Amino acid sequence: MDSLEKRIAKEGRVLPGNVLKVDSFLNHQIDPFLCMDMGKELARIFSDVHIDRVLTVEASGIAIGLAAAYALQVPLVFAKKRKSLLMTDEVYTAPVYSYTKKETNTISVLTQFLPAGENVLIVDDFLANGEASLGLASLVEQAGSRVAGIGIAVDKAFQNGHERILKAGYRLESLAVITSLEGGRVTFQEGHEC
Ligand code: 5GP
C-alpha cells in the first residue's frame, strides 16, 4: 500500500533490535485517515472470503482492527494481555512472547465473544516473529472457528513470523512488506503490489 510505505519511509525510525518506530501515525499518535484507508484496503483484499468478525490484540492492534472491522461491517474483538477481575467467565487463552517488551503474556478472550463456526480475520499492526498472530489463531481454533486470514499493516518479512504463518497454512496479506532494516534503512519488498 503506497501511502503506508511512503509514510514509513518519511517518518519511521529504526531502533536497535530491528524495531521500527512509527509513533507519529500508528503506535502513539494515530492518523485516522491513513488508518481507515488501511482498514478499507484489508477489507478489499479479503472481499473474496466471508468474514464474521475481526480479532486483534490490545493495544496497538485495536486501531487498524477497528478500521478493518468497520470496513467489513463486522464486530471487532481484541484479546486482552492481562487477566482482568472483570473476566470471571470462561476464556480462551494462549501464551504470546512480546517482541518489543521481551516478556510472555497470556492473551485471552471471553468465549462469548468468539463463538464457534465462524470465519475470523486476524489483524495486527506489525508482524515480527509471528507470536501474536499465531496466538490469536490458536484462540480462534480453540473456539471451533476458522482463521479466514491474517491481515498485517507492517510485515517485517525478514524475521520468522512471515515464514511461520505461511508454513502453518494461513493466508497472509500485508499492506507493507519490509525486507530489511539494516543500517537503519527501510527496504520494502520490490514490486510488492497492494
Ligand atoms: P510478533 O508477535 O510477530 O513477534 O510481533 C508483533 C507484535 O509485536 C505486534 O503486535 C507489535 O505490537 C509488536 N512489534 C513487533 N515488531 C515491531 C516493530 O518493529 N515496531 C513496532 N512498533 N511494534 C512491533
Q: How do residues 82-134 score in pLDDT, each as one tens digit?
A: 876 666 679 999 999 998 888 999 999 999 999 999 999 999 999 999 999 99
Establish whether residue 131 lines the binding site of ligand 1, counting it when its CB lies within 6 angstroms of any ligand atom: yes
Distance of alpha carbon 91 from alpha carbon 62, whole angstroms = 19
Averaged pLDDT for residues 148-166:
98
Quote the pLDDT of residue 82: 82
190 falls in which pLDDT band (50, 70, 90)? Answer: confident
Would the CB of 19 count as within 6 Å of ligand 1? yes
Is this model's pTM higher than 0.85 or not?
Answer: yes
Task: Give yes or no for residue 128 CB within 6 A of ligand 1.
Answer: yes
In ligand 1, the atom with minimum distance to the C-alpha of 97 is 2
Q: What's residue 32's pLDDT?
A: 98
Q: What pLDDT is recorded for position 99?
A: 83
Q: Which atom of ligand 1 is nearest to the CA of 19?
A: 19
Whole-number Å distance, alpha carbon 124 to ligand 1 midpoint, is: 9
**Interior/surface letters 68-103, b for 16+ CB within 10 angstroms, e for the rest:** bbebbebebbbbbbeeeeeeeeebbbbebebbeeee
Which pLDDT tens digit goes with each residue over 138-155? 999 999 999 999 999 999
**What percent of the chain has pLDDT above 90?**
91
CA of 194 to the centre of ligand 1 (A): 21
CA 61 to ligand 1 centroid distance, Å: 10
Q: Is 99 in the pocket of ligand 1 (CB under 6 A)?
A: yes
Question: Does 191 score more than 60 pLDDT?
Answer: no
Q: Output the pLDDT for position 193.
A: 39
Which residue, by CA, sits nearest to atom 11 of ligand 1? 126
Q: Which of 11-25, 39-53, 73-87, 170-184 has the lowest mean pLDDT?
A: 73-87
Q: 129 C-alpha to center of ligand 1: Å?
A: 8
